[in-house]
Amino acid sequence: MAVLSWDIEKGSGSMTRPSWAPEGIDLDRPSASRVYDYFVGGMHNFEIDRTLARQIEAFTPNVAETMRANRDLLRRCVRFLVDAGITQFLDIGSGIPTVGNVHEVAQARNPSARVVYVDIDPVAVAHSRAILDGNPAAAVVNADIAAPDTILADPQVAKLLDFDKPVAVLLLGVLHFVPDDADPAAAVARLRDTVAPGSYLAITHATLDGQPTEVLEAQKLSGRTSTEIVLRTKPEIATFFDGWTLLDPGLVHLPLWRPDNPADVGDHPESSGAYGALAHKA
């Protein structure tokens, strides 16, 4: 595993660019992946990301808890999928890899598991590339989920994933960054029609359902990144699973999805502000 250094280089903008950040990124604009990295305790974020995160937190004090609940669901879900016999993962909107990433969880359980990460953010991609150096069973692609044909045609995807066999498609915390006019439902349907019977689809998605109205202020703040959040209702999120069969317990608040321990659910799982589900293609 390659380790990224923390040397500071002079950036072209008003901030300095650490050596782990690729050239050409906009240092004066926060990014969704780095704000998420901050919330889940990662170290690959800038002051501009932390400032936005703190402003969002002022409106939604439980936001870090929701994001950690999302990350916890990811790990439970990947363990479930490996135990169900899945050896191929397409993780779109994969983010900046932090400990307990998909390939770590999957390959710890089955060393032959193969993982392709996809993200729109060059920082997330650069990090993933460095972390995956020397891992022939995992790769990363810089692409937009709204362009699924670009993802499916990517040589790394073709090299590592066999779409004639079951694949787990992970869309965790990403579809709420895709506005309706970019037609996220069509992208999800394209993936559904590509994968073999026996495949799985996992989605987590932010919602306003049951949330205080202050969350709308936080949602507006997310527009300072290049990917503003779209909060969808439970029925709207459920439509992404058209053509799939939802597994128990269905589409639920994140802590309620197959908790390892009932104590992990807490007293108010609905305060997580996001839903998650796993579905199967017959």
**Which of 69, 116, 172, 195: binder of ligand SAM (CB under 6 A)?**
172
Give the span between the Cα atoms of 207 and 154, in whole angstroms.
Answer: 32
45 binds ligand SAM (CB under 6 A): no
- Answer for the pair 180, 149: CB distance below 8 angstroms, yes or no: no
Backbone phi and psi for residue 240, each to the nearest 5 degrees, phi listed first: -65, -20
Name the nearest CA neighbour of 254 among 62, 92, 99, 67: 67
Which residues ranging from 227 to 266 are in contact with ligand SAM (CB under 6 A)? 227
Q: Which stretch binds ligand SAM (CB under 6 A): 10-18, 51-59, 119-127, 214-222?
A: 119-127
145 binds ligand SAM (CB under 6 A): yes
Q: Residue for token digits 């040589």?
A: 155
Provide the minimum distance between the beta carbon of 10 and ligand SAM in the complex, in angstroms, as a whole number.
25
Identity at 170, one-letter amino acid code:
L
**Which of 38, 46, 177, 244: binder of ligand SAM (CB under 6 A)?**
177
66 binds ligand SAM (CB under 6 A): no
Q: What angle do CA 73, 66, 51 make, to 5 degrees?
A: 130
Nearer to ligand SAM, 96 or 197 (CB): 96
33 binds ligand SAM (CB under 6 A): yes
**Which of 116, 178, 218, 277: binder of ligand SAM (CB under 6 A)?**
178
CA 129 vs. chain centroid, Å, equals: 16
**β-pair partners for 119:** 142
Residues in touch with ligand SAM (CB under 6 A): 32-33, 36, 70-71, 74, 92-95, 118-121, 124, 144-146, 172-174, 177-178, 227
